[in-house]
Chains A and B, each alone.
Chain A
Amino acid sequence: MSGIIEVENLTFGYTLQSEVLENISFEVAPGTFLAIAGPNGAGKSTLLNLLCGTLKPGAGSIAIDSAPLQSYSIETLAERIAVVRQGFLPMFGFSVIETVMMARTRQFAATGFETKTDRKIVEEALQMTDTAHFAARPLGSLSTGERQRVFIARALAQDTPILLLDEPTSFLDLKHQVGIYDLLKTAQIDRGKTIVTVTHEINLAAQYCDQAMLLGADRSCLFGPAKEVLRCEQIQNVFGVNVATATAGKQQFFIALGKLAKNRPPLRDSTPNSQ
């Protein structure tokens, strides 16, 4: 196998609850951009937490760089994987640059102070995410979009081959959404990073990602090239909602249709959930 992330027969359930993920297998090649989508409660975030070692699999295995996940220590895993979670704001007001510098904690903890190398890496991460001009501001004074870029900068400053993100565009407006995806695409292309993101933005995933995974609430799992996974019928099935589709240029887009939507187009017969 050649994947940088290899998952085999992964099964996981929280206690007192039936399995959330059942028998999932997939492989991510280095330098791939993978989007994981699916309805609430389908286990997207759970899968992400399993991949970064926060949760332990009930059964099955995860390998990072061909070594089993459990063979990594907290410190060595942090050299392979950086994680961007949904913006947790600390109680005390750290500035942007202090926040990003924390990605280097592992390297400078022994002496207590960052080296020139650490500072250079942080500087690059700030430049790349376009956050350098407000580096001195406290985190609490930033807008949601700015703050999300700071957390991505911190993940980049960790200098890992793999980047995991949990809904990086939630609460962001259209411009900031594409801004984040452009940034991730740049990291993928310029730095060769392997990126796995959980998202509800199917259309952004379709535009930017190479691979896609649709996790269903019924523990189904579709995985493959984005074009093959993100299809009208499959999205309808997994989300249990009627979906209209349209193309702009070569790109196919998907729009969910509610019962009372204005100017609702007629639905095709193949829809499994049509009323």
Chain B
Amino acid sequence: MTEPLTPNKLAVRIAAALVLLLLVMFACSLIGAKSISLRTAFAGEAAVNPDYEIFIRVRVPRIILAVIVGAALACSGGVFQALLRNPLADPYILGISSGAGLGAMIAVVGGLNWTLFGRSPIAVFAFLGALGTVWLVWTIGRLTGKFHLTGLLLAGVVVNAFFSAVIMFLTSVAKADQVHATIFWLMGNMTEEDFIVLWIAAGCVGAGIVALFYLSPQLNALSFGEDDARSMGVNTARTRLAAFAIAALMTAVAVSLSGLIGFVGLIVPHGVRLVFGPDHRQLLPLSAIAGAIFLVAADTLARIVVAPAQLPVGVVTAIIGGPFFLLLLIRYSRRVGWFK
């Protein structure tokens, strides 16, 4: 966008995006392997009403889950792209994916079967693995000298490769049924969650998005490089640490809920940036909403395309997202004057 952002303009756009999100959520809640009618769903006694059961216990929680995960991934993807000043960055670039994968694998191979707040050991270990890996990469990145983006990126890539190798090793020694469970998790998979889990996750992600919005003027300045941002009075070290920590935490929450859903965190912020411009005050909230819409739609397709079986949603995001993003890229990049 060429004109500077005003609060009114931003509020209108966010409101419009939210209305669109609600419409998509509503439409997708009516679509599924079994057709249900809202009238019957809310007509009778819950205990004997299959339509009500499907709507409230299956579809609604799953759609809310998709909203949370999509928003978290898209928003944190935008933040990682800003912090690393790299268009290839996504939420997984600093090793979160392999760390979470390793955590999940350890839980599966270890044969753990307890629960924590209704979460399986896979989710808990994935969460811890994700955060532990980001911390490890961050620490290595700092050791490479005065904050060096290249050092940080390389540390992320290498840690990713190393942990992926460990995952493959564990896969080769694990039992077949264990391997299947992990592979499905690694492909990104939505399941029905308890409402309590959803509310906690929604609270974390919502708070993260709001906090990131208040960091976005500083993120804008950081786009011009460390030195320029500091001369403009931005405490770059504090901004970067806070933004990294929040984005990593949001990603870890998303990953522990749904496994590794690729592509959302890469293409949604790019798509929003191509259409609405790079101002992070607008980019981050709109990316969050667009990511939610995208993942709700993708998950609905994953539910119905091969019904009654289901596809891993990660497959759908990549297959739809890729071509859609390329169209956006061709349509808008010339106007934005990116590649000069």
Contact = CB atoms under 8 A, between A and B. Distances in A.
Interface in A104-149: 105-106, 108-109, 112-114, 119, 136-138, 140-141
B233 A114 contact: no
Q: A interface, by DSSP: helix, strand, loop or mixed?
A: mixed
A147 B230 CA distance: 20
B223 A90 contact: yes
Interface in B233-264: 233-236
Contact of B231 (A78, A95, A98): A78
A102 B2 contact: no
B228 to A, nearest CB: 6
A112 B214 contact: yes
Interface in B259-314: 273, 277-279, 281
Interface string B91-111: 000000000000000000000
Contacts of B217: 102, 105, 108-109, 112
Contacts of A158: 231-233
B87 A93 contact: no
Given A113-B7, A137-B2, A140-B340, A103 B216 contact: no
A140 B338 contact: yes
A35 interface: no
B323 interface: no
Contacts of B336: 93, 138, 140
A94 B218 contact: no
Given A114-B4, A141-B337, A105 B221 contact: yes
Nearest to B85: A91
A98 B225 contact: no
Contacts of B230: 53-54, 74, 78
A74 B220 contact: no
* Residues of B contacting A: mostly: loop
B86 A74 contact: no
Given A103-B232, A112-B216, A91 B223 contact: yes
A75 interface: yes
Interface residues of B, number: 38
A99 B273 CA distance: 16
B213 interface: yes
A114 B6 CA distance: 8
Interface in A56-111: 73-75, 77-79, 81-83, 85, 88-95, 97-99, 101-103, 105-106, 108-109
B219 to A, nearest CB: 10
Contacts of B213: 112
Contact of A105 (B85, B220, B225, B278): B220
Given A102-B232, A109-B217, A90 B224 contact: yes
A85 B233 contact: no
A49 B241 CA distance: 24
Given A79-B233, A112-B214, A138-B336, A91 B86 contact: yes
Nearest to B82: A92
Contact of B337 (A78, A81, A112, A140): A140
A94 B338 contact: no
B5 interface: yes
A52 interface: yes
Given A78-B231, A98-B278, 4 more contacts: A83-B228, A112-B216, A112-B281, A140-B340
24 contacts: A74-B233, A74-B235, A75-B235, A78-B231, A78-B232, A82-B231, A83-B228, A85-B231, A90-B223, A91-B87, A92-B273, A94-B223, A98-B279, A102-B217, A105-B218, A109-B214, A109-B217, A109-B234, A112-B214, A113-B5, A138-B2, A138-B336, A141-B337, A158-B232
Top 5 A-B pairs, shortest CB-CB distance: A78-B233, A106-B233, A92-B278, A136-B2, A140-B337
